[in-house]
Chain A
Amino acid sequence: EDQVTQSPEALRLQEGESSSLNCSYTVSGLRGLFWYRQDPGKGPEFLFTLYSAGEEKEKERLKATLTKKESFLHITAPKPEDSATYLCAVQAYYGDSWGKLQFGAGTQVVVTP
């Protein structure tokens, strides 16, 4: 059975204190791994897609990396506005499947001034 596990569940950072979030996955065939940001009461906001091991993507203070078993989301010098829940999702090959996303439980990040 496919699984997506995120750690830690929650992370409290001081402004400027860099850290990394982990997403480990087991799927039969990975089509893509996605990172989303979710603010309370809102829909997931797309951040990155990673397709193959070794790939890296960057956006402002965020950098996502992918290996064959896990992905990391690095937050460099975070600011309070980076506070959110970060969701990881995988899209796998399932015959004719048209790309349902399977989400992890998320990491809730709080950045304090």
Chain B
Amino acid sequence: EPEVTQTPSHQVTQMGQEVILRCVPISNHLYFYWYRQILGQKVEFLVSFYNNEISEKSEIFDDQFSVERPDGSNFTLKIRSTKLEDSAMYFCASSEAQGWTYEQYFGPGTRLTVT
């Protein structure tokens, strides 16, 4: 069964460093998303991406964040200068736009720890 994959599973970085989180969405999906979940809190939407453009972003997704689809399979989230409050689980999701089928399938997540 096709699934979303994410690497690395755990990333430890120092405050101020840049990190890149990687995702491989399900192959025939066209819409890609990043969400995050701070420990003990709700899953929060960060950004959606379609046709090589950001289609929607939240207030969390400020200038420190960027997304890219560098090739036909990968989807990345970059945080330019990490802060302590960026520590969270980051989930990538993808969906296939076909009629009303908008289920989003999530990857296993990357745990980001900023020290």
Q: Mark B1-14, 1 if CB is under 8 A from A, else 0.
A: 00010000000000
Residue in A closest to B100 when the chains form the complex, CB atoms: A51
Complex Cα–Cα for A103 and B36 (A): 11
Choose among A51, A99, A103, A106 the residue with the greatest number of B CB atoms under 10 Å from its CB. Answer: A99
Question: Contact residue range for chain B?
Answer: 20 to 34
Q: Are B95 and A103 in contact (CB under 8 A)?
A: no
B91 with A43: CB separation less than 8 A: yes
Chain A interface size, under 10 / 10 to 19 / 20 to 34 / 35 or more = 20 to 34
- How many interface contacts (CB-CB < 8 Å) are there between A and B? 62
- Asked whether, in the complex, the Cβ of B55 is within 8 Å of the Cβ of A98, the reply is yes
Cβ B43 vs Cβ A103 within 8 A: yes
Tell me if B82 counts as interface (CB < 8 A to partner A). no
| Cβ 8 A contact of B55, one of A36, A41, A91, A96 | A96
Interface members, chain A 35-68 (any B CB < 8 Å): 36, 41-46, 49, 51
Q: Which of B45, B56, B108 contacts A43 (CB 8 A)?
A: B108
Chain A's nearest CB lies how many Å from the CB of B92? Answer: 8
Residues on the A chain within 8 Å of B35, using CB:
101
Query: A41 vs B40: C-alpha distance in the bound complex, in angstroms?
Result: 11
Query: Chain A residues in contact with chain B, CB under 8 A?
Result: 31-32, 34, 36, 41-46, 49, 51, 87, 89, 91, 96-106
Besides the contacts A41-B89, A45-B106, A51-B100, what 14 more A-B pairs have beta carbons closer than 8 Å? Answer: A34-B103, A34-B104, A42-B108, A43-B91, A43-B109, A46-B105, A49-B103, A96-B55, A98-B48, A99-B31, A100-B58, A103-B43, A105-B41, A105-B42
